[in-house]
Amino acid sequence: MSSPLREYVQRFSSIRMAVIGDFIADEFIHGATSRISREAPVLVLDFIRREVVPGGGGNAAMNAAALGGDVRAIGALGADVAGEELRRAMERRRIDTGLLLTDSERVTPTKTRIMAGGRNTKRQQVIRVDHEKKLDLNETLESRIVGEVERMADNDLDALLISDYGLGVVTKGIKGAIRKLSTKLIVTVDSRYAGDSFPGVTAITPNEEEVEELLGYWPDEERLDEAGAFLLEKTGAQAIVITRGDKGMSLFEGESSRADIPIYGSDQVLDVTGAGDTVIAAFTLSLAAGASMREAAEIANRAAGLSVMKAGTTVVEPHELLATLEGESA
């Protein structure tokens, strides 16, 4: 199997794709544990450094670009420092941010993680502070995004990835445009709360918590087939990929039987931050490169296995993914 999988990965550099959705600034503040405060029973940290990396749709775009794709980011950011830092971080990966529009009424979603530890020990997250405000796009920005996406779809775009965290960028108008475009090109969806509101797309990639949110029950082994079949019928998607943590992922496709793909690599997970973004980026690129749903899921599963062994919001590189295929026969 590995020979065609390698060929698909090697084709990633020829794929043109767009990521549309909610772009989030993941802020990390690193500090060394100093003492207990006299004011309250809390840790005092000596500041070491601060960094901002793209999260949400930004992380999906970063992973797609790191894997070799020609990526365009589409969404809206606030007229604030976090938005500018987020934009610059993506541009360093050569992601086209021309359609990351600035909205003076919007706050760039920011997740601040405080990382604490000794100066010579691994730092752990001790608290996270989210700064988010849901705000639907105004009609002017929505119209511009719809028009640009439709123009790109008619001009050699290979795939469209939707990263919907429910923060207002993916409006009803944009969903309507996505529905039309799904007949022309590959459209994949990662939606935190509304995966069933994208009818007829190529594939949807919910995790177990998102499935529970949609269906009202946890997709354990006894109800997993029921959940997959219901989501296929409800969404009209060609495929449903349910990511299942240390159990890997399960693929549901048309009338085919469920395909379970065990977790790749060690089950001693270091950090699951952004793993879902890695999955959908690799899965989408693989489909655009000509892989079947099963092959694309296998590649995405390997990418996820690499991602969770890294700390923080990270990306997977092509050489790392190709290395997982070394020594395996076709």
Each residue's pLDDT, cut to its tens digit, for the chain (330 residues) gives 457 899 999 999 999 999 999 999 999 999 999 899 999 999 999 999 999 999 999 999 999 999 999 999 999 999 999 999 999 999 999 999 999 999 999 999 999 999 998 877 778 889 999 999 899 999 999 999 999 999 999 988 999 999 999 999 999 999 999 999 999 999 999 999 899 999 999 999 999 999 999 999 999 999 999 999 999 999 999 999 999 988 889 999 988 889 999 988 765 544 555 578 999 999 999 999 999 999 999 999 999 888 766 665 578 888 888 888 875 544
pLDDT value at position 122? 79
Name the token pair of 230.
């219901």
Map residue 328 onto helix, strand or coil: coil
Q: Which pLDDT score is estimated for 120? A: 72
CA 15, CA 156: separation in Å to the nearest integer? 10
Q: Are 201 and 164 in contact (CB under 8 A)?
A: no
Q: What is the pLDDT of residue 101?
A: 96
Residue 277 annotated to the active site: yes
How many C-beta neighbours within 10 Å does residue 252 have?
24
How many angstroms separate the CA atoms of 98 and 145, rounded?
Answer: 11
What are the φ and ψ backbone dihedral angles of 75, each rounded to 5 degrees? 175, -155
Q: What's the CA gap between 173 and 228, in Å, rounded?
A: 27
pLDDT value of residue 53: 93
Rounded CA-CA distance 272/278 in Å is 10
- Return the number of other C-beta atoms located less than 10 Å from residue 232's C-beta: 18
Q: Which of 22, 70, 190, 277 is catalytic?
A: 277
pLDDT at 134: 92
Rg, C-alpha atoms of the chain: 20
User: For the chain, how are helix, strand and coil distributed in percent, rounded to 5?
Assistant: 35, 30, 35
Residue 44 pairs in a beta bridge with: 35
Looking at residue 131, its amino acid is H
Given this model, what pLDDT does residue 311 score?
61
- Please, which residues have CB within 8 angstroms of residue 276's CB and are 6 or more apart in sequence? 190, 205, 207, 243
**Per the structure block, which two tokens stand in for 67?**
């894997």
Cα–Cα distance measured from residue 294 to residue 309, given in angstroms and rounded to the nearest whole number: 23
With a CB cutoff of 8 Å and minimum separation 6, the contacts of 135 are 103, 105, 106, 107, 167, 168
- The per-residue pLDDT for 246 is 83
SS3 189: strand
How far apart (Å, rounded) are the C-alpha atoms in residues 195 and 171? 13
* Of 177, 221, 172, 211, nearest in space to 191 by CA: 211
Q: Is the CB of residue 188 less than 8 Å from the CB of residue 161?
A: yes
Cα–Cα distance between 93 and 24 in angstroms, integer? 16
Predicted local confidence at residue 308, as pLDDT: 67
Residue 46 tokens, joined: 């000596």
By the 8 A CB rule, do 37 and 91 touch?
Answer: no
d(CA 57, CA 60): 5
Question: Residue 245, exposed/middle/buried by CB under 10 A (0-12, 13-18, 19+)?
Answer: middle
